[in-house]
Structure 1
C-alpha cells in the first residue's frame, strides 16, 4: 500500500455518500453501493448533507475564499473507476471547494478567476494497492483522524465505525492497533451500538430514536443493576427483558406535553436507586423523575429514624460499659483527653436531662 500524489479535477473527486458523520443528521442507512457513488443524485444528496450547519462547511469555505486552499492536510481518496475518486479523508474540505465553485458560477464569490482555476484541479493523495488493502487503509485513516484525531466524530459515529470494522471481521485487538483506542473502549462502543440498534429497530418506539441517546444507553451498560433490570445478555449484546426495555424507551420519549423522564444521560445514573421500587417507577412512568427521587429519599430517611427504645438501649449499654471500666480497674489506662471528653459528654447529657425533666414536669401539671 502506498499514498501517491495525483492532480485531479474537482469534478472527479466524489463525496462519500456513506460518510459516518451523516448519522448526526439523518436516519437513512449508509449502505449505498460503490457503483452508485458517481450518480448525480447520490452526489447531490451527499453535498446537501455536508452543507448541514452541524458540519460548518460555510466557515471553512469562507476561510478558503479569504486565504486560499493550503495543502497542509492533503485530501486522501481512493479510485473507484477509470475517472473518479471517492474521498476517504477531507469531505468537509471537498464540500467547501465545491460550494465555492457553485457560488462562483452564480456570481456570488469574491475569488478571482485565478483563484477559481486553482480550485478546479487539486492535488490529492490516492491510496493504491489491492482492493481489500485499500478498504482497510481507508478505515484506518478515517479512524486515526476522526475517532481520536483532530476533528473527532461523536460517540455514536465512533461506535458505528467500530461496528462496521467488526462486521468486516476485524477483532477488537486489531482495531485497537489500527486507531489507538483501548480494547476495553472498543468493546464498550460496540456493545452500546448494539443496544442502540435494538432500539432503532423496535416497531413501537423506533420513531423516538436519536443518535444522542448513545450516552443514555452507555450509562445503562455501566451499571449492573440497570443491565439486570433490562435483561442484558452478554453473548448476544442485547436486552432480553422486553417489558423493562420498552419501559426505558418510554422514559426517553416525550409525553403529550413534551415532558421527558430521562432528558439527560446523567438522569440514567439515578435509575439505580429506582429500579427496585415499584412506586418510584410509577412516578417515572408519569415523566416525574424528581417525584420518584423524592419518594426514595423520604423512604431512606424514614428507614434511618431511630426509636426511643433503640436510644434507651444504647444509653444502657454505654452506662454498663462505663461501669465495666471502673470494675475492671481500666480507668488507669485512660488518658487525660479521654477523661476530659467523657466529662464533657456527661455534662452535656446532664444539661439535656435537666431540660427533659423540666419539660416532663410541665406536662404533669
Structure 2
C-alpha cells in the first residue's frame, strides 16, 4: 500500500516574505508550457508575471478585500515545498498568498488597516511537503486533490443565512458585511433581502410548508437591478423586510408549484411530498432570467404580462412582448416620417404666403433671411444623399 500523503506534511509557520508564488501553477499551464526551474522561479520577473496572471483572472482583488477586513484566516493551510531556508514555493494556496502580498497596510480609500489585522500576515501557517514527488508534479497532486473532487459548495440559501447572521450579531451595514465577504453593498443587500423574503414566503404563503432552499435563488433575483418591476409588484418594504402585497406574493410562489388542469377531483386532498415534487418539475419559472423577462413585461407590455399570469408560457409571452415593441417602434418610425413631411409641406405653404407684416419689417426680414440661408445650407448638405 502506498505511503499516505499526509505523512509527508509537517506543520510550519513561514514569514510571508519567504513564500513565493508558483510560476508553474497548474492554473497557468497549457500544452505548450515550458517548466521554470526553482532558481528562476523565485526571481522577480516570474514572480511578477505569476501575480499578474492571478490578478487578471482569479478574483485576487475580492480575496484581498476580504483579507483587509478579516485578516489572514488560516482555515485552510497553504501547502509549500522548501527550496532553502529563505525560499518556499507555494504548491496549494497561490491565490491566498498573492492576495496577502498585495496588502500594503492601507485600504483603497486611504484608510489605515488596523495593526491587529496586519499582524496576521507576519507568519503564515503552512504545511511543508517533503515527499518524493518531483518538483514538476507536487503542485498537480495537491491542487488535483482539492479542485477535482472539490470542496462541497454551500447552497445559496446557506450563504445568505451566514451573511444575515453576521449582520444581526455584529450590527453591520450592507457595506460592512459586504466587505467581509468580498461583496459590494448592493450585492450583500440582494442576498439579505432575498433571505428575508424567502422566510416570509415559508411562513405566510399557501405553499409555505412545501418550500425548500431550491427556491431561494429566485427570491434573491427579485432584488437584482433587472427585476425591479417584480419587486414593486409585490410591494417590498425595506424597513419591515417583507412584501406588503400578500396576494401577489402567494401568486409568485404558486408559479413554482402549478396545479394540474385535472386537479379538481383532489381539491380537498392534502398534497403529498411526491405531488409537490411533481409540481416543482412543472414550475412555470425554471431559471432566474425568467424573472427579468417578467419584469420587462410588467414594465413594457401589460397585455403579455396578463397573458402570462393567466397561464401562458413565460418564454412565449416574453417573445410576444418583444415583437409587440418592435411593431410599435416600426409604427412610431412610420409616424415620425409622416410628421416630417407634413411639417415640411406646411412650412412651404407658410413661406408661399409670407405675411406683408414680415416683409415690411426690417428686423423680421433679417430674421427670415437667416432662416432661409440655413435652409439653403441644409439642402446643400442633403443633396449628397438625394
- Shorter chain as denominator, the TM-score bin is 0.3 to 0.5
TM-score, normalised to structure 1, is: 0.46
TM-score, normalised to structure 2, is: 0.43
